[in-house]
Structure 1
Amino acid sequence: MSDGKTRFTGGCLCGALRYEARGEPQGMALCYCADCRKASGSGFVPVIGFPAAAITFSGESRSFASTAWNGGEAVRNFCPVCGGLVFGGERGKESSYNIYAGSLDDPAPFRPSVAIFACSRPDWALIPPGVTAFDRMPGEAPPG
């Protein structure tokens, strides 16, 4: 690559919804919250955060919004053709997006450093060695 920047590419199962992210991610995490589990049909969602300016999307997406942990909206985007879950955030309105690591063309660079909402983790959904677990979001005080 001629510009020397890190580049992540990926998209949905059928290829109709694609993205390219350039530069270093803001973070890599595993989310075990109930919403992510339900949306993915798995025990967690692996995410990579990028500033909005670092990502280019191509193709149409459909979105689904649910109530987030903080009372706001969690917006998940998927391909309207194959239904593949690709990224989080409201397209065109966010300062950053979460790319779902399962949608990467090459998943090898994904190295999560934290697990969030570990308090919601099913026993069978393991946290990899070396990943720091937080019951909620890092820095969030427990309720009560």
Structure 2
Amino acid sequence: MTRITGGCLCGSLRYEAEGEPQFAGICCCADCRKASGSGFIPFMGFASEALRFSGAAAQFRSPCFRGGEALRNFCPSCGGLVFGGEAGKDTSHTIYAGSLDDPSLFRPTMAIFGRDKPHWLPVPPGLTVFETMPE
């Protein structure tokens, strides 16, 4: 079984995931671009039972596309974005692939919010591009 590990820049907020991600891709929505300071956020989705978090996290909530709130977790010491969702409450989480210890484990298959993609951002070949969120 695959073991995926990662964490923030200073190493205070960490995670460990067991198994393969349920999905992986890049998000080009305006919120992800602003949160990352980049053209997109690379993400991997896991069921909550496949993940274990350690260390303190600070949260930022913002409205999300289908209503409700998006919750981003980051390290209160270094500010590094690590995961999405509320630990202990949500049934699934996104891991921000930039936080992986081994970046070769990130294998995206989709790009979401293609309508918001900056003109200067090339989409890697082979990704399925969705204008917003896939159904």
TM-score, length basis structure 1: 0.92
In structure 2, distance between residues paired with 1:131 and 1:89: 24
Hey, what does 1:69 align to over in structure 2? 65
- The residue matched to 2:20 in structure 1 has which SS? coil
Q: How does 1:1-144 map to 2 (within 5 A)?
A: 5-139=1-135
Q: CA deviation at 1:116?
A: 0.3
In structure 1, distance between residues paired with 2:30 and 2:121: 12
In structure 2, distance between residues paired with 1:84 and 1:12: 5
Unmatched segments (≥5 aa) in structure 1: 140-144
The one-letter code matched in structure 2 to 1:66 is S
Q: CA deviation at 1:84?
A: 0.4
Mark the structure with the bigger radius of gyration.
1
In structure 2, distance between residues paired with 1:63 and 1:55: 18
Shift >2 Å, 4+ stretches: none
**RMSD over aligned Cα atoms:** 0.6
In structure 2, distance between residues paired with 1:124 and 1:71: 29
The one-letter code matched in structure 2 to 1:80 is P
Q: Alignment identity in percent?
A: 63
Give CA-to-partner distance per residue, 1:65-91, whole Å, 9 cap, x none: 000011110000000010000000012
In structure 2, distance between residues paired with 1:20 and 1:37: 25
Residue-pair matches, total: 135
- The residue matched to 2:98 in structure 1 has which SS? helix
In structure 2, distance between residues paired with 1:47 and 1:61: 18
The one-letter code matched in structure 2 to 1:133 is V
TM-score, length basis structure 2: 0.98
Unmatched segments (≥5 aa) in structure 2: none
